[in-house]
Amino acid sequence: MNDEERLQPEAPVTGQGRMDVAWGANTGDETEQELSNANTAQGGEVFEQHYTPWRGTLNPRWMRNWAILRHHLLGIFRKGHRPWTMPTRIFILIAFLASLSDAGMTLLSGLVGSSEFHSLFGVSRDNLYGHVLGFFPRNVLYYPIIAALLVGSVISEDREHGTSALYFSRPVSRVDYVGMKFVSVGLIQALVVLGSYILYFLAEVVAYGRGWAWMVDVFPMFLAGFVAGLLLIFTYTSIGLSLSSVSTGRFFPGIGLLAIVFGTKTLASIVKNLFGREILYLISPYDCVAHVGQALIGTQTTYDQYSWTYSLVALVAMNALALYVLASRVASMEVTRE
């Protein structure tokens, strides 16, 4: 500020303001009349906005769904996709390696050549049930915790941060949105549950040199265990995503899923030990899956007071209720921050 500017009196406060115009792309091309109008508040124009409709070609539906699936699935293995936390990745790796313990013991029994050792860990109906649906350690330390870590933020963070707008403002239906979220979580669990299950059978083939006759003979048993694993994955995923859809944080869905699985199991066991009644096992997702899995595999059942069909009906009711809550909550999601 020079001396002349210091000597000039300040402009009086009149309550009126002066607005200069930013002319954007036309700067430098104004006429004298436009410049004179720009120096007055009455002739001011803040911006000019034109909407041009997009007339391009949309990607096919399968490609949009694949983008959602890839975003969630590949985030487990590399960057550039969904940012799964490092503890989640580490626990999934540890659970996968721990689930291969039966396969390792089967290989060891083949090297040792002990029939007693093979009866404990080799492929049989009882061991298949224990490998997929055994309560300890798999359904205490591995599978429910994996499901809880995965479902904790799949849908709840979309509600919290408003990222549902990125999906529903595009040509992505809510059915595709839920379906790809469901398949993504289910596939990650299948890598641990069913991936270790297949490697368990391959370890038996490699360790004992099983031929095609043996494979054909045990294929129905293998298929029954595979279906039991699918039931486990589907049930944990449906319950977990329904809890994630009613929450706006990652803590409640994960803890809620663990509370449902372990709480109902513990309550049913207490009633069984105190009163000798097994009816409360019908409210336990794990016990219903285990009972149906025992019937599928053909192993000896541990639920003697009622038929496995009751567990099947209870299992269908649980999944139907969970899917209803999931569908209704996703249907209420808006294309804005909630």
Domains of the chain, residue spans = 84-331
Answer whether 314's CB lies under 8 Å from 280's CB.
no
Mean pLDDT of 147-163: 87
Mean pLDDT of 172-192: 95
Strands of the chain (E only): list them.
none
Given a cut of 50, is residue 25 above it in pLDDT?
Answer: no
Interval 104-128: pLDDT, tens:
999 999 988 888 888 899 999 999 9
Mean pLDDT of 300-320: 95
Mean pLDDT of 232-246: 96
Query: What integer pLDDT is reported at residue 37 of this predicted model?
Result: 55
Given a cut of 50, is residue 21 above it in pLDDT?
Answer: no
Q: pTM for this structure?
A: 0.82
Mean pLDDT of 190-209: 95
Given a cut of 50, is residue 337 above it in pLDDT?
Answer: no
- 158: pLDDT confidence band, cut at 50, 70 and 90? confident
Query: What integer pLDDT is reported at residue 154 of this predicted model?
Result: 92
Binning the chain into helix, strand and coil, the percentages to the nearest 5 are 70, 0, 30
**Between 274 and 49, where is the model more confident?**
274
Structure tokens given for 176 = 């595709």
Answer whether 144's CB lies under 8 Å from 258's CB.
yes
Cα separation of the two ends of the chain: 51
